[in-house]
Structure 1
Amino acid sequence: MPRLVAVCAVRRLRPDAGSVGVTAIDKGPVDGPVRVGPYGVYADVQADRKHHGGFDKALYAYADEDAAFWESELGRELPPGWFGENLRVEGIDVNAALIGERWRIGDRVEVEVTMPRTPCQTFARWVGGDDARGWVKRFSNERRLGPYLRVVRGGRVQAGDEIVVVHRPDGAPGLLDRYADPE
């Protein structure tokens, strides 16, 4: 059964060398039911809504299975929120989703897949150390990007909630079909 492993929100804003000057990538699990609305998880922050937020990027989902792959590759634990994700999920191949696919999370919340994550230099700086060099290309080439989601119907979600695919649009492109790998 696909389920929500964790709901994550920003723990603290961190200084960043990017154009905004801070990043909200440092996310961690929130206990209990959490409200989700048009801009995503209540109490989360989108420091750069132009590139990492807004209605079409209200939430970012990442699969526990993909996180386990990266734990093996990087040789370190990557807990929920490490990828900057709001939703750590399991049992659903998020990278095989279709653009426009809709998921119900728990009893009420409904989200729609809008686009894949495009890794950026902020993410590479977050990874840090020797792993940061070439990270954007490495992460992209593995095609374990995870989707951004639009909130269709808000409500409350919590770890353990079931995820049900309620709509897969006929003829829609796959999440990674139009993704161009960085050079």
Structure 2
Amino acid sequence: MIRINTSSRVASINISGGGIPKRPIPAVLIREGGLEGDGHNHAKHYRPAQAVSLQDIEMLEELTREGFPLTAGMTGENIDLNNVNVNRLPIGARLIFEGGVEIEITRKRPPCYVLDVIDPRLKKTIVGRCGVYAKVIRPGALENGAGVTVELPVSHECLVEKV
């Protein structure tokens, strides 16, 4: 793994009994099955490889500027991050949070039909920008504001343009 130290932080932790929106909370215990207290309305969402859903707070801000007023948790994500760009992380990248929680990106998150309640146009607009799913590698407690370190798989090719 290639470790990238960033100024990234947890911007929001979000849970719900099922469905959207998820409500922000100050801290949570993350187990192998996901965030404690978080429910799933659809069995297809309840898999270890989809235990945690992540989005960038900057992406929600971008979508708000595009006419979709979104706040943390509104699109069903469990964790909003600042300064990570999760939509560009490769499968297999790991996020290590201050305090010890570690997760691994497993797949891109497709938009769900439940977004139609926010705006019927959102599902089409958010394709490719809906965040990612991750499995839990090391469970533990996570707090808002915790720092995040990104580790890229060694096989990952850098996204740097040739000069």
What letter matches 1:101 in structure 2?
A
Q: Distance in 1 between matches of 2:23 and 2:123?
A: 22
Whether 1:162 and 2:154 are equivalent positions in the alignment is: no
Partner of 2:97: 105
Partner of 2:3: none
Partner of 2:43: 49
Partner of 2:66: 73
Equivalent of 1:8 in 10, 14, 28: 14
Q: Distance in 1 between matches of 2:157 and 2:136?
A: 20
Judge conservation of contact 1:98–1:173 (CA < 8 Å) in 2: no
Equivalent of 1:135 in 108, 112, 122: 122
Partner of 1:60: 53
Q: Distance in 2 between matches of 1:9 and 1:144?
A: 20
Q: Distance in 2 between matches of 1:82 and 1:120?
A: 12
What letter matches 1:150 in structure 2?
K
Q: How big is each residue's C-alpha offset from its partner over 1:49-87, in whole Å with a ceiling of 9 and x where there is no partner?
A: 31x2310111111101100011111253x2211111100
Distance 1:5 1:171, change over 3 A: same
Q: Distance in 2 between matches of 1:161 and 1:45?
A: 23
RMSD of aligned residue pairs (Cα, Å)? 1.8
Q: Distance in 2 between matches of 1:75 and 1:42?
A: 29
Q: By how many angstroms is 1:26 displaced?
A: 2.0
Q: Distance in 1 between matches of 2:60 and 2:123?
A: 16
Helix, strand or coil: the match of 2:126? helix
Q: Distance in 2 between matches of 1:117 and 1:123?
A: 13
Q: By how many angstroms is 1:158 displaced?
A: 0.8
Partner of 1:29: 24
Judge conservation of contact 2:21–2:73 (CA < 8 Å) in 1: yes
Query: TM-score, normalised on structure 2?
Result: 0.86
Q: By how many angstroms is 1:137 displaced?
A: 2.2
Judge conservation of contact 2:68–2:122 (CA < 8 Å) in 1: no
Say which structure is richer in strand.
2
Q: By how many angstroms is 1:105 displaced?
A: 1.2
Partner of 1:83: 75
Judge conservation of contact 2:15–2:35 (CA < 8 Å) in 1: yes
Say which structure is richer in helix.
1
Partner of 1:21: none
Q: How big is each residue's C-alpha offset from its partner over 1:97-120, in whole Å with a ceiling of 9 and x where there is no partner?
A: 010111111221000000011112
% identity of equivalent residues: 26
